[in-house]
Structure 1
Amino acid sequence: MHGPPMVAWLLVALSAAAAVSCVLRREARSEALLGVGMAVMAVPLSVFDPPRWSTAMLAVVFAAVAVHTLRPSPLPTSHQMHHSVCAGAMVYMAAAMAGAGPASTGHAAHTSAGAPLLTGLLLVYFAGYVLHAGSRLAMPTGPHPAHSTVPVPPGGAIRLRHAPEVAAACRVAMALAMFAMLLTL
């Protein structure tokens, strides 16, 4: 599933940053786990060639996250379904990595892993999610920032980590990373 090393390192950085952002927002621990898993899966094989059993273990962890996201939750149904699709995609990619066989000379083999139809459907889903959610982030919905009525807490610091825009940007970043990882599958 690994592409060029520069792309892989960018995916590691993006996924790790999204995971840290999710950890800071205590209510997003399952998202943080997916971000860490994405970062681990994106590490170039020239740096670390994981044992064959580790991808199967990742698939089990992601399956547990997928089951966890299906339980009743106060989250909106669409939000919960998105998390289920993300966790399912991670199970799929981990299983595809496990089934791809050993890499040759420390780099991923250039054969495709996984089912092309499922990979294509996931690519369409994540591309659509990034375009839809990203466009909602880019469109101003409230007053101009210069005329903002957001109260500033004592000391002048605004707690950005709990802002809904940070959560949405985190999900967009992770969906974009998921899209890039699926392209290399």
Structure 2
Amino acid sequence: MHGSATSLTASFSSWLLVLLCAVSGAYCLRWARGAGGAAGEAVMGFGMALMAVPLGGRGDGWRAPVLGVVFCGAALHALWLLRGGPHHAHHLVGSLTMVYMALLAGSGPVHGQEHSQAAGPPLLTGALLLYYAGYVVLGGTRLIAAGDVGSARATADRGGPAELVRACRLAMGMGMLAMLLTM
């Protein structure tokens, strides 16, 4: 009985993560034409949503290679955007993190290996956890600071609230942090 309750809770939280990432991706897609970088964030949001879908081992063989290819393409795109300035470095880190998680998800535990060995290099996972924890804390403080100033200004091109764009980025950062914690 205890195992099924834990499984139900894990499935529910996975579906909440799917919803959070899909809504963030859809919002970014809505503003993709007017805001630089929003298309990359939309791809990241939808990819994170797809990666978080709990399939329970059924039909899971296609997901890791397909997502690996998609996020390698996103990493190449982010690398191309870096020529315009370092503000796209986060997209590169995010894309490479998703490639890393797709590889880990596709490898699974190998017979005879302990779970900690099959989970990937703990130093890299720890460094990514620290990066995203810092990103979430910094993003949260920026969002709070923007709200304190009373910044209800719209984004330059499309009229969307700047706080919602920041909140979208913060939600995806928290989603990435949650996904890394399960690795």
Name the TM-score, length of structure 2 as normaliser: 0.78
Distance in 2, matches of 1:10 and 1:29, equals 22
1:117-159 deviation digits (Å, cap 9, x = unpaired): 11110000000000011101101477547xx7x69xxxxxx93
1:32 to 36, 39, 42: 42
Alignment partner of 1:159: what SS?
coil
Corresponding residue for residue 154 of structure 1? none
Corresponding residue for residue 173 of structure 1? 171
Code of the residue aligned with 1:172 in structure 2: it is L
Change (3 A) 1:99 1:159: same
Alignment check: 8 A CA contact 1:93 1:114 kept? no
Distance in 2, matches of 1:52 and 1:75, equals 37
Q: Is 2:124 the partner of 1:126?
A: no
Code of the residue aligned with 1:42 in structure 2: it is A
Q: Is 2:20 the partner of 1:14?
A: yes
Code of the residue aligned with 1:88 in structure 2: it is L
% identity of equivalent residues: 40
Alignment check: 8 A CA contact 1:123 1:183 kept? yes
Bigger Cα displacement from structure 2, 62-71 vs 112-121: 112-121
Give the root-mean-square deviation of aligned CA atoms: 2.8
Within 5 Å, which residues of 2 pair with 1:142-153?
143-144=149-150
Distance in 2, matches of 1:136 and 1:98, equals 36
Alignment check: 8 A CA contact 1:15 1:35 kept? yes
Q: Is 2:103 the partner of 1:95?
A: yes
Q: Is there any run of 5+ residues in structure 2 with no aligned partner, and where? A: 1-6
Bigger Cα displacement from structure 2, 80-89 vs 136-145: 136-145
Code of the residue aligned with 1:15 in structure 2: it is C
Distance in 2, matches of 1:114 and 1:165, equals 36
Corresponding residue for residue 53 of structure 2? 43
1:88-139 deviation digits (Å, cap 9, x = unpaired): 100000010011159xxxxxxx934222111110000000000011101101
Distance in 2, matches of 1:143 and 1:173, equals 21
Code of the residue aligned with 2:115 in structure 1: it is T
Name the TM-score, length of structure 1 as normaliser: 0.77
Corresponding residue for residue 53 of structure 1? 62
Q: Which has the higher helix share?
A: 2
Higher relative contact order (CA 8 A, sep 6+): 1
